[in-house]
Amino acid sequence: MFEFEITGTSSETRARTGKIKTSRGVIETPIFMPVGTLGSVKSLIVEELEQCSARIILGNTYHLYLRPGIDVIDHMGGLHNFINWEKPILTDSGGYQFFSLAKLAEFSDKGVSFQSHIDGSRHFFSPEKAVEIQMILGSDIMMCLDFCIGYPASEKDTMDALEKTTHWAQRSHDYWQKQKQNSNGKVNALFAIIQGGMYENLRSLSAARITELDFPGFAIGGLSVGEPKELMYGMADYTLPLLEENKPKYIMGVGTPEDLVELSGMGADMFDCVMPSRNARNGQLFTSRGNINIPNAKYRFDANPVDDTCSCYTCRNYSRAYLRHLYKSKELLAYRLNTIHNIHYYLDLMKKIRQAIDNDSFLSFKREFYGERGRDKF
């Protein structure tokens, strides 16, 4: 089961709220998906994710394929059962990791040949195989294999990546449809990915080709790969309206709190990023008044919570002084308490964005958001 319904729109912007319905639960959009790369959102248990209002998390197909291996997850009854998370999971296809992490990835019409970043072992993903693996994982939202390229990239290279992405999307779609027929429709949703780099003409071409196919949702890939912030926003602003209005629009691998506000305003419905959890492990905490670096000496005697407007477990129970001490002492609890706060901050921000859209007060929300940070825009 997969349905998407738009429940609210902003008269001042393209922002909208919606509901994604899956057999494992309803997801209110715009939504942020915490990243559980290897089958855990680093340091957290699933109950903490739920307390932070997480309604869907992301798993990385590339990582799970290498460790623990799809055979293990298959034997354990799928990813949800393995990691003890009953709500929806979106899995990526591996495309981004072939770009960012794997060694010696070779892209052909057939698929991607790559070496494991762990042991150098050689593997091959075809578009069909990427879907097949995600079906074994039991992912509620699967992603098509795509060819992501960095910034800067020539128009020729970008066009080549786009063409492979398009060709693979077609094959993924065919394979997915066939699996659906073989199982009386009991196959989860598959989203396709728009590429096209920083070229508007190629983004248009990619969107036109990919949206010809009847996918239940679309993602914009290849953003936040090193380009300036303004260019990222420009490309998202250009591409989002090219996607079908009545389907979820997912911007992959983005971003900062400011990104979530800006891109929601442009009509994006879904986000994922390692930033809240990774920054937590680096001692950087998000607050309504901007980021703080918890190891800073000025917090040594600070009895206040990280953010006195925050209702997360960490802020309800611990001082900045304690968090600083744990972090400086490299105590494992530091990473966990920091991650709880940052994930809570992100999901609470999404809740505020949804409320602002539903109240049709998105622009005043945005002014307030930047105002609390002592700025007037990103």
Question: Is 325 near a copy of itself (CB under 8 A)?
Answer: yes
Place of tokens 């494991």: 116
Query: 59 - beta bridge partners?
Result: 91
Residue 222 Cα to chain centre, angstroms: 13
What's the Cα-to-Cα distance from 187 to each of 21, 60, 135, 212, 341, rounded to whole Å?
Answer: 14, 19, 8, 21, 35
In the complex, what is the shortest distance from the CB of residue 337 to a copy of itself, in angstroms, rounded to a whole number? 8
Query: How many Cβ atoms are within 10 Å of 183's Cβ, its own excluded?
Result: 10
Query: Residues of 287-306 as b/e, b for ≥16 C-beta within 10 angstroms?
Result: bbeeebebbeeebeebeebb
Position among 72, 124, 152, 178 found at the interface with a copy of itself (CB under 8 A): 72
272 is catalytic: yes
DSSP state of 77: T
What distance in Å separates the CA atoms of residue 349 and residue 85, rounded to the nearest whole number?
Answer: 23
Instruction: Return the sign of the alpha-carbon dihedral for residues 334, 372, 370, 55.
Output: positive
Lay out the site mask for a copy of itself across 44-63 (x = CB under 8 A, - = otherwise): xx------------------
119 is catalytic: no
Residue 316 or 377: the one with the smaller Cβ distance to a copy of itself is 316
List Cβ neighbours of 356 (8 Å cut-off, separation of 6 or more).
10, 15, 362, 364, 365, 366
Position among 50, 109, 301, 309 found at the interface with a copy of itself (CB under 8 A): 301
Question: Is 300 near a copy of itself (CB under 8 A)?
Answer: yes
For the record, the structure tokens of 193 come out as 């990915």
Query: How many Cβ atoms are within 10 Å of 257's Cβ, its own excluded?
Result: 23
Position among 4, 99, 218, 322 found at the interface with a copy of itself (CB under 8 A): 322
Question: Is 42 near a copy of itself (CB under 8 A)?
Answer: yes
Residue of 140, 146, 269, 272 with catalytic role = 272
What distance in Å separates the CA atoms of residue 151 and residue 108, rounded to the nearest whole number?
Answer: 21
**Subset of residues 227 to 286 that bind a copy of itself, contact rule: CB under 8 A:** none
Position among 154, 317, 359, 364 found at the interface with a copy of itself (CB under 8 A): 317
What distance in Å separates the CA atoms of residue 280 and residue 285, rounded to the nearest whole number?
Answer: 6
Residue 26 or 70: the one with the smaller Cβ distance to a copy of itself is 70
Question: Is 331 near a copy of itself (CB under 8 A)?
Answer: yes
What distance in Å separates the CA atoms of residue 300 and residue 308, rounded to the nearest whole number?
Answer: 17
In the complex, what is the shortest distance from the CB of residue 284 to a copy of itself, in angstroms, rounded to a whole number? 17
Residue 52 or 144: the one with the smaller Cβ distance to a copy of itself is 52
Residue 86 or 245: the one with the smaller Cβ distance to a copy of itself is 86
Question: Is 208 near a copy of itself (CB under 8 A)?
Answer: no
Question: Is 303 near a copy of itself (CB under 8 A)?
Answer: yes
In the complex, what is the shortest distance from the CB of residue 266 to a copy of itself, in angstroms, rounded to a whole number? 35
What distance in Å separates the CA atoms of residue 205 and residue 195, rounded to the nearest whole number?
Answer: 9
Position among 10, 17, 22, 43 found at the interface with a copy of itself (CB under 8 A): 43
Question: Is 84 near a copy of itself (CB under 8 A)?
Answer: yes
What distance in Å separates the CA atoms of residue 162 and residue 146, rounded to the nearest whole number?
Answer: 8
List Cβ neighbours of 278 (8 Å cut-off, separation of 6 or more).
none
Question: Is 297 near a copy of itself (CB under 8 A)?
Answer: no
Stretch that binds a copy of itself, among 77-85, 160-168, 173-181, 228-236 (CB under 8 A): 77-85
What distance in Å separates the CA atoms of residue 305 and residue 297, rounded to the nearest whole number?
Answer: 16
Residue 6 or 321: the one with the smaller Cβ distance to a copy of itself is 321
Question: Is 122 near a copy of itself (CB under 8 A)?
Answer: no
Residue 45 or 101: the one with the smaller Cβ distance to a copy of itself is 45
Residue 171 or 324: the one with the smaller Cβ distance to a copy of itself is 324
Point out the residues that are catalytic: 92, 272
Q: Binding residues for a copy of itself, per CB under 8 A?
A: 38-40, 42-45, 67-68, 71-72, 75-76, 82-84, 300-301, 303, 313, 317-319, 321-322, 324-326, 328-329, 331-333, 335-337
